[in-house]
Amino acid sequence: ADLALYAAKGGGRGRFHFFSEELHKAAEDRRQIETDLRDALACGEMELVYQPIVCAEENLVKGVESLIRWNHPRRGPVSPAVFIPIAEDANLIAPLGEWILRKACEDAVSWPGKIRVAVNVSPIQFANEGFPEIVMSALAHSGLSPDRLELEITEGVFLSESAETDAMFARLKGIGVRLALDDFGTGYSSLSYLKTAPFDKIKIDQSFVRQATLPGSRNRAIIAAIVALAEALGMETTAEGIESLDQLDLVQNLRVSHIQGYIYSKGVPCATLSEKLECGDWVIEPSGPARQRSTRQSMYRKVGAIFGGQHQSVLVRNLSETGALIEGLPNLALDTLIIIDFGGGELAFARIRRIGARQHGVEFEAPLVSDGSGSFCVNHRVTPYALASLGLPDGGYPAETSALNVVPGASIEQIGARLGLSRIAGGATEGGGLGIVGSMAAISLVDRNRLGDRQLTRADVDRLLDAANASQNPQLGPFVSLLVHTGVRQRELIEARWSYFDLERGIWNVPDARTGKSRTVKLSREATEIIRGLPKWDDCEFLIANPKTKRAYGSFASSWETARRRAGLPYVEIDELRLTSPSPKRG
């Protein structure tokens, strides 16, 4: 009952929730992680890596941020997003934070030069009256100069603005360390504390950077305001999570002083950092994709397309906020304006930006938004009355593939006007709102010949299964067979653990990493037998494991590439197998 209660609260309150075994398993798994976490430091399972913080003008490394990593002996790498919240709930964050502080100071002393090291401080650590003494002890034992240590503090410490908070800041500054305000704008977000809190730097959270280059985003203005505020207060700025060259150009043009992200480097071990600094200053040339890639979903979904006064059924292969990959369009020219009908009154203007073999890449004139369940939708729906006036089905695209006449001879702009759709032109909407036409960075097209009916036949599936079973990778055969027999995604099968399965009942509980919940997949007799035949090692919990490392595979991409070419089907993506059915020969 207690687990069901907290599941209802976690789901948004105002609802009921029944107990299920998945809740019990999640609680047991969390309890086990907590138990293992208590011994992780003593067993030497924790390590620190350091991500460079680079001067925006010179590409010169000015400091690094310490990032903790947990190498679990059975689970493998455990994400900090998983174990840090557990450490906070279990009162383990204080000893863990102290270890990070001491280890970072010890490592920093060994580096050539005088770059700074940044250490994250949790609100729980900050509230400890003895925290300044811990900082002084770490500095004294390591011999690190105080001005080389930067403490990153989140806005959560200001939830109780008091004399104690001000006194803590004064004591820390008295030691001589630097203070950085981390994740600015995502928490408490009151500017009053900036009047007295002696910060040296403001860190701009990556959530602002991530969407800043997308059409219609206001994040650029927010970043500019943060930089102006920091400059007025005499503080430096660091933009986190920079991954593409257009993001880099954006933050540089907005005068952000420091940059951190994959565009320069991921976190590196202490030994690697020492090697980089041996020759003096470490200059890193930015390297990454030209443009920010929107979150993209692979799918196989029927939608409608309106062009030339007709409405025709087409297929969406990939979908992102800014564009989609469409199959089934005729030979339309580049830059042709069309309307995509997602069904239920969701229509959006789009332009042809790429042309491939039987595929078109389209760019939406206005970006889609999250639908709250992991996919995307349009901002405004068209009323059923407007759809009916043009003879369009109010439930969505037509089931048949034959085209429907919408308004013969009418331009796409005229049809859009009849539907009440607004256009973005010249950087502004007709209603006067801001609009920035984006790029098709999220769409990657590959010329390839498709089957005429765009579906895998049973013979195709048999050839793919035979090629997979003949692969030099012994796990590819059962992996591909399970994709066909279960209909799950490749990543779900790669991450599957033996504990997820109840083979006696023929059930697989597939967890959702985003929500923490799980769904139940009913296993067929054939799928159950395949799983029973898989090798199982005592020191490995993963269902499909690398026989050499006894750990989960990161990907089957290279093995699958060979197998699909051997089967004469070089275009088939591995996740398409879940959309097929096994042939009678296979059961």
Backbone angles phi, psi at 558, to 5 degrees: -70, -40
Give the pLDDT of residue 427. 35
Contact present, 235 and 199 (Cβ < 8 Å)? yes
Closest CA to 266 of 50, 474, 103: 50
Give the pLDDT of residue 514. 57
- Residue 85 sits at the vertex; the CA angle it makes with 79 and 88, to the nearest 5 degrees, is 130
* d(C-alpha 461, C-alpha 529), whole Å: 19
- Report residue 331's pLDDT band, with 50, 70 and 90 as the boundaries: confident
In this predicted structure, the answer to whether residue 443 has a pLDDT above a threshold of 50 is no
Amino acid at 388: A
pLDDT mean over 492-512: 87
Give the pLDDT of residue 562. 84
Contact present, 362 and 281 (Cβ < 8 Å)? no
pTM of the model: 0.58
In this predicted structure, the answer to whether residue 572 has a pLDDT above a threshold of 70 is yes
Residue 255 vs residues 53, 56, 249, 326, 500: alpha-carbon distances, Å: 15, 8, 10, 39, 50
- Report residue 580's pLDDT band, with 50, 70 and 90 as the boundaries: low
Query: Which stretch of 86-95, 208-217, 528-537 has the lowest confidence by average pLDDT?
Result: 208-217
Q: Is 570 or 46 the better-scoring residue by pLDDT?
A: 46
Q: Count of residues for the chain?
A: 587
In this predicted structure, the answer to whether residue 360 has a pLDDT above a threshold of 80 is yes
Q: Is 171 or 23 the better-scoring residue by pLDDT?
A: 171
Query: Which stretch of 95-99, 512-516, 566-570 has the lowest confidence by average pLDDT?
Result: 512-516
* d(C-alpha 421, C-alpha 503), whole Å: 52
* d(C-alpha 375, C-alpha 370), whole Å: 6
Q: Which residues are catalytic?
A: 240
* d(C-alpha 414, C-alpha 409), whole Å: 10
* d(C-alpha 414, C-alpha 432), whole Å: 20
Q: Is 199 or 20 the better-scoring residue by pLDDT?
A: 199
In this predicted structure, the answer to whether residue 428 has a pLDDT above a threshold of 60 is no
pLDDT digits (tens, 9 = 90+) for 228-287: 999 999 999 999 999 888 899 999 999 999 999 999 999 999 999 999 998 888 999 998
| pLDDT over 90 percentage in the chain | 30
* d(C-alpha 350, C-alpha 576), whole Å: 26
Tokens 């964050």 locate to 93
Give the pLDDT of residue 118. 97
* d(C-alpha 179, C-alpha 422), whole Å: 47
- Report residue 581's pLDDT band, with 50, 70 and 90 as the boundaries: low
- Report residue 436's pLDDT band, with 50, 70 and 90 as the boundaries: very low
Give the pLDDT of residue 474. 87
